[in-house]
């Protein structure tokens, strides 16, 4: 799916790390040439360092040819929840700008309804944490400030903001919820992705054999 002379959006997370490695190996072998990578996080940039051309800046006018990313949840309509790595804001910019957006997940990420397993990450500027959480509670959500692991205090995004993970009893209308959350003053972006995915590749083991199916 990735061709030579392409601009490729590089998602964040363990699944996408394999894609970065795979493309990098083909660049080294000469099978692919002139690939420009657009990392969506410090992590993705670090993985691609030394393999890719200088990073392509999102402000440039040429659209990305393809974006490859993972997801925390995928529903039958190819709507997503992303943001387990707190990189959903940059991921959304890159993924929506791509001519083709491909999501790679294992079968355990497939759900009938968004929010079934994973909370919705919401990136919030620090000064607005309390009012944003209060507003979300009034909407029926259960917000929780994401705390760091092996670090005292909250998770800080690459933009210098905090992440609130919001659990909802149900998400019947992800399109409306995405808009409503983003309209709260102090919210930068949330992890609901709708109407942007072209292909979902689902890896699973069937009869003892690894297979990949596509929706």
pLDDT in tens, 113-139: 999 999 999 999 999 999 999 999 999
pLDDT of residue 186: 99
**What is the CATH classification number for the domain harbouring 167?**
3.30.70.260
Considering the domain architecture, whether residues 143 and 200 belong to the same structural domain is answered as no
Considering the domain architecture, whether residues 151 and 178 belong to the same structural domain is answered as yes
Q: Return the closest-CA partner of residue 193 out of 115, 108, 92.
A: 92
pLDDT of residue 42: 63
How far apart, in whole angstroms, are the C-alpha atoms of residue 28 and residue 65?
A: 20
Could you tell me if residue 72 is inside a domain? yes
What is the residue range of 78's domain? Answer: 7-111+194-214
Q: Which residues in the chain land under pLDDT 70?
A: 41-62
The number of domains in the chain is 2
- Determine contact, residues 206/135, Cβ cutoff 8 Å: no
Spatial neighbors of 41 by CB under 8 A, at least 6 apart, are: 12, 85, 87, 90, 91, 158
How far apart, in whole angstroms, are the C-alpha atoms of residue 179 and residue 192?
A: 9
Is residue 73 among the annotated active site residues?
Answer: no
Considering the domain architecture, whether residues 55 and 90 belong to the same structural domain is answered as yes
Say which of 25, 49, 73, 91 is annotated catalytic: 91
pLDDT of residue 83: 96
pLDDT of residue 59: 57
Could you tell me if residue 1 is inside a domain? no
pLDDT of residue 150: 83
DSSP letter assigned to residue 146: P
Considering the domain architecture, whether residues 94 and 54 belong to the same structural domain is answered as yes
pTM more than 0.85: yes
Considering the domain architecture, whether residues 92 and 35 belong to the same structural domain is answered as yes
pLDDT of residue 9: 84
């Amino acid at each position: 799916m990735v061709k030579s002379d392409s601009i490729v959006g590089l998602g964040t997370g363990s699944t996408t790390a394999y894609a970065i490695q795979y493309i990098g190996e083909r660049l080294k072998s000469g099978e692919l040439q002139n690939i420009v990578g657009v990392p969506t996080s410090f992590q993705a940039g670090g993985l691609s360092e030394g393999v890719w051309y200088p990073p392509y800046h999102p402000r440039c006018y040429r659209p990305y040819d393809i974006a490859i990313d993972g997801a925390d949840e995928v529903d039958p309509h190819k709507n997503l929840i992303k943001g387990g790595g707190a990189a959903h804001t940059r991921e959304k910019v890159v993924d929506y700008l791509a001519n083709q957006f491909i999501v790679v997940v294992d079968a355990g990420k497939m759900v009938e309804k968004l929010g079934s397993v994973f909370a919705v990450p919401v990136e919030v500027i620090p000064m607005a944490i309390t009012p944003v959480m209060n507003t979300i509670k009034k909407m029926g959500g259960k917000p929780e400030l994401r705390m760091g692991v092996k670090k005292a205090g909250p998770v800080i995004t690459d933009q210098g903001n905090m992440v609130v993970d919001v659990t909802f009893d149900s998400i019947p209308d992800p399109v409306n919820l995405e808009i409503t959350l983003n309209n709260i003053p102090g919210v930068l972006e949330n992890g609901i992705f709708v109407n942007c995915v072209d292909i979902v590749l689902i890896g699973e083991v069937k009869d003892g054999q690894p297979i990949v199916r596509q929706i």
